[in-house]
Amino acid sequence: LGGTAAINPARGIAQQVPGLFFGHEVGHSASYADIVSATLAMQAGTFMAPFFYVLARCINRIC
């Protein structure tokens, strides 16, 4: 995944879907476990981003 996944999570997951569903048939060089772990990490980052943003805003307001 490039930087586009960080900017637009929907585009990031769209880049992962072909590898998730068809990667084993096409013969991608990345293993299926790597693709699944990258997808889960991307989704976890998407979920945690708002909390990190709030934390960063709070730290900046205090300092």
Write out the two tokens for 22: 């068809």
Q: Specify the amino acid at residue 3.
A: G
Kindly report, residue by residue over 9-63, the tens digit of the pLDDT.
667 777 777 777 776 665 556 677 777 787 788 888 888 888 888 888 888 888 6
Q: What are phi and psi of 28, to 5 degrees?
A: -60, 150
Report the distance separating Cα 61 and Cα 55, nearest Å: 10
- What pTM was estimated for this model as a whole? 0.53
Chain centroid to CA 25: how far? 23
